[in-house]
Chain A
Amino acid sequence: MDKKILLAFLLAALPTFAAADSQWILKQSTLTYHVSHPLHQSEGVSHAAKGKGVCHAGQCDFLIAVPVKSFDSGDSNRDLHMLQVTRGAEFPIVTVRTRLPESAETSSTVNADLEIQFAGQTAHYKQVPLKLETQNGETHITGTIPATLTDFKIEPPTLLTMPVKNEIPVRVDMTWRPQQ
């Protein structure tokens, strides 16, 4: 009889243990790269990122992926040029990986170590400051990744023989929600 009670207790407790591994889904996002050229500035925007976070033992592993083709600068010629220099046809997806403590959800800022795969290269950005705002169970994250072209061995795109600046900061604006 005692064994049956114990078994029933364990079965009842299983969902509780399983719930400890929570997950997050990227609800919506805006990623914007900024390019500076001696003649003008331009920005490319993508809303096509997909992301997921898996939390286990107090740590959450996040993966965000965005197609290189999805960035739109409002000029098809520029977008194709960017696609070419970033080898976007050969490496069509940009991935961002990071691990954050589960407790970060309640913080207003967090410094994240990012691993970014882009243009066939991997770059690490340490302690990138991100702002967090939680509302109605959703977490809104904003920040800027200080990316440069040389980080990914990208030859600077040129216009009228003049290359763009090496710095291509990427603004991140994401809303995450817990997966039901």
Chain B
Amino acid sequence: MLRDTLGNGRSLRVLVVVCLLVAVAPHLMGQTTATGVLTGKVTDASDNAVANAAVTATNVDTGQSRTVTTGADGTYKFDMLPSGNYRVKFESTGFNTVEIPSTIVSGTVPAVLDEKLEASASGKLATSQENLPNAPSSNTTAPTLSDLGLTPEQTQGNAREQALLDKRTHMLKIHQRMGLITTIPLIATVATSLNAGGKSTSTSSRYLHAALGGVTGDLYFITAYYAIRAPRVPGTETRGPIRFHKAMAWIHGPGMILTPILGIMAFDQKSNGEKVHGIASAHAPVAIVTAGAFGAALLSVSVKF
């Protein structure tokens, strides 16, 4: 019955593969998202928010620690904290330091840890620095960035440049993904070329080859668009494998324009019962060079030679 519904055994195999992928996907995703969130609020005895309190989370197993400070509302948050058992310390000027020995952070639900701090009886300033044997100093003798000869221009951030970099990375990420996706129909097009040309060809093979070639071309130009339109960063000299990657574009770019034009000519000649002749006979060599340059461009940024 099931076999009838699905039509044939091939569909059943496809269904099995899809089911397996669906079953395995959450496990694979779980391996890549083994981080969690630890959040909470720090208050004083009167339930008033304690701002600028230092909250330090130390992984009990690895010893790695991270520190954040509470905001004006007394809240704090650790993002992307590797899952595990954490020792959490709360420190603030004028309050007793509190350490929570064990808090579990998992990737599923944000761990919430609120803390109420008591004012230190002696009025002694409890700072995170004091608990470290040779902690960084905040005293007046400590050197500053201006002592190092750094000008404010060198130390100040540039939000505009950051936005430019963000846009560039975003577009190049799409370029990479589209490039990988384009590889699939590109390989299929090359594979079907064996049945589309030569003496023993069928109309359906030629149509399949042409359709795959069309899909490849469309995806390729979308891929190229994201690379060409990605903003340039002024003053950056192109160095390393990316130079080869860009050089290859001067081969596969024109090739991707020329190949379908020659392909259409060859297709028409074949459809008319003629042998592919003239300039159309360059379709296959041009396509091979184009596909080779595309593959080399992809490898140049993927594998270190």
B239 touches A74 (CB 8 A): yes
* B274 vs chain A, min Cβ distance (A): 43
- Interface residue count on the A side (C-beta < 8 Å): 63
Chain A residues closer than 8 Å to B303, beta-carbon distance: 39-40
B82 contacts partner chain A, Cβ-Cβ < 8 Å: yes
Chain A residues closer than 8 Å to B161, beta-carbon distance: 89
Nearest CB in chain A to that of B153: its residue:
A92
* B302 vs chain A, min Cβ distance (A): 5
Nearest CB in chain A to that of B69: its residue:
A122
A172 contacts partner chain B, Cβ-Cβ < 8 Å: no
Nearest CB in chain A to that of B34: its residue:
A166
B240 touches A77 (CB 8 A): yes
* A128 vs chain B, min Cβ distance (A): 11
Give the contacts of B213-249 with A (CB-CB under 8 A): 233, 236-242, 245
Cβ 8 A contact of B241, one of A67, A75, A148: A75
Chain A residues closer than 8 Å to B169, beta-carbon distance: 80-81, 84-85
A30 contacts partner chain B, Cβ-Cβ < 8 Å: no
Give the contacts of A80-138 with B (CB-CB under 8 A): 80-81, 83-85, 87-93, 95, 97-101, 111-115, 122-127
A159 touches B301 (CB 8 A): yes
Nearest CB in chain B to that of A96: its residue:
B136
* B128 vs chain A, min Cβ distance (A): 8
Given contacts A21-B141, A59-B137, whether A123 and B66 have CB atoms under 8 Å apart is yes
Cβ 8 A contact of A80, one of B65, B135, B233, B302: B233
Chain A residues closer than 8 Å to B237, beta-carbon distance: 76
* A69 vs chain B, min Cβ distance (A): 10
Interchain CA distance A127-B132 in the complex, whole Å: 9
Given contacts A158-B173, A166-B82, whether A39 and B241 have CB atoms under 8 Å apart is no
A160 contacts partner chain B, Cβ-Cβ < 8 Å: yes
B238 touches A76 (CB 8 A): yes
B80 contacts partner chain A, Cβ-Cβ < 8 Å: yes
Given contacts A75-B241, A146-B64, whether A50 and B158 have CB atoms under 8 Å apart is no
* B131 vs chain A, min Cβ distance (A): 10
B162 touches A90 (CB 8 A): yes
- Interface residue count on the B side (C-beta < 8 Å): 60
Cβ 8 A contact of B176, one of A39, A59, A65, A160: A160
A159 touches B136 (CB 8 A): no
* A100 vs chain B, min Cβ distance (A): 6
Interchain CA distance A112-B135 in the complex, whole Å: 8
A161 touches B67 (CB 8 A): no
Interchain CA distance A96-B159 in the complex, whole Å: 23
Nearest CB in chain B to that of A148: its residue:
B64
Give the contacts of B117-145 with A (CB-CB under 8 A): 128, 132-137, 139, 141-145
B141 touches A126 (CB 8 A): no
Chain B residues closer than 8 Å to A80, beta-carbon distance: 165, 168-169, 233, 236
Please indicate which of the listed interface residues A83, A95, A101, A124 has the most CB atoms of chain B within 10 Å of its own CB.
A124
B134 touches A61 (CB 8 A): no
Please provide the 5 A-B residue pairs with the shortest distance between their CB atoms, ordered closest to farther: A75-B240, A97-B136, A89-B161, A61-B142, A84-B165
15 intermolecular pairs with C-beta atoms under 8 Å apart: A39-B302, A50-B150, A53-B143, A65-B145, A67-B154, A74-B240, A75-B241, A89-B165, A92-B157, A97-B136, A101-B134, A113-B135, A113-B136, A123-B65, A123-B66
Q: Which residues of A contact B (CB under 8 A)?
A: 21, 39-42, 50-54, 56, 59, 61-63, 65, 67, 73-78, 80-81, 83-85, 87-93, 95, 97-101, 111-115, 122-127, 146, 148, 150-151, 153, 158-161, 163, 166
Besides A99-B136, A153-B79, 5 other A-B contacts (C-beta < 8 A): A39-B302, A50-B150, A54-B142, A78-B240, A85-B169
